[in-house]
Homo-oligomer: A and B are copies of this chain.
């Protein structure tokens, strides 16, 4: 457990990961509105992926900001949720919001994988 007075500083890599998580979370929440407007059975599967990704990125960013010792595991899981969400978004053809969301997810997944591998 982290001792008082020895809390690790927020490194640039961790800050980038927090930022990528927060951005991905925001884009997912906004994309839910687009998906709700599209409607349709297939979109409901996208909705599930967006909900998982929005929740996971938020918790991941919060844990890093609190310097939780669980951050590396959460980053690994978050990377997986982001990849699944990117894939789901790209299953909707020709939708700029979905493309934008997939890009934010991919970027977030990359930073999370890097953080999961690093010693935090």
Interface residues of A (CB under 8 A from B): 1-2, 4-5, 7, 10, 18, 22, 26, 29-30, 32-33, 35-45, 47-49, 51-52, 54-56, 58-59, 61-63, 65-70, 73-74, 77, 80-81, 84, 88
The answer to whether A36 and B48 touch across the interface, beta carbons within 8 angstroms, is yes
The answer to whether B4 and A65 touch across the interface, beta carbons within 8 angstroms, is no
Number of copies: 4
15 contacts between A and B (CB under 8 A): A1-B88, A4-B36, A4-B39, A18-B26, A33-B66, A36-B48, A39-B41, A44-B47, A48-B66, A52-B63, A55-B63, A70-B77, A70-B80, A70-B81, A77-B77
Known contacts A48-B68, A51-B66, A77-B77; A37 and B84 CB within 8 A of each other = no
The answer to whether B37 and A40 touch across the interface, beta carbons within 8 angstroms, is no
**A4 interface neighbour in B1, B37, B66, Cβ under 8 Å:** B37
Residues from chain B with a CB closer than 8 A to the CB of A51 are 32, 51, 66, 68
Residues from chain B with a CB closer than 8 A to the CB of A29 are 61-62, 65-66
